[in-house]
Amino acid sequence: MTYDRTVSVEGTFEETVQVVRRALADQGFGVLTEIDVQATLKTKLGHDMEPYLILGACNPSLAHQALELDRTIGLLLPCNIVVREDGDRVLVQAIDPATMVTLTGIDDLESVADEVTARLDAALASARTSHS
């Protein structure tokens, strides 16, 4: 089972992070948290790795709809957007919102998942084409 939605982006890591932030905002997502995995692993473990950033994005209206159906759904909300270097390209990744429906079996979540999917796909497509 594929659980991610991934696009490959031409451009630098820093440029891509800025493009992704704008693309998410254009789709109604705010970035609430940011985890610099590269810096954290270097500081805590002395481990060197490629740039890897997790943006905690949220669309309040859609999150509210999902939480009204199932309070535990917070565990599965597609909030994390990963921006990471992969060789000479940058990947932007999000969890496939359909996993909320698949894992919970709550059919009423399907309309929320569909809306989140459309918005995430639009943001990912915008990030991919902004450098072209």
Strands (E), 16-116: 30-36, 52-58, 80-86, 89-95
Over the stretch 6-24, which tens digit does the pLDDT of each residue have? 999 988 999 999 999 999 9
The identity of residue 6, as a single letter, is: T
Give the separation between CA 68 and CA 62, rounded to whole angstroms.
Answer: 10
Residues 6+ apart with CB under 8 A from 53: 13, 17, 34, 35, 36, 37, 38, 82, 83, 84
Over the stretch 39-76, which tens digit does the pLDDT of each residue have? 999 999 999 999 999 999 999 999 999 999 999 999 98
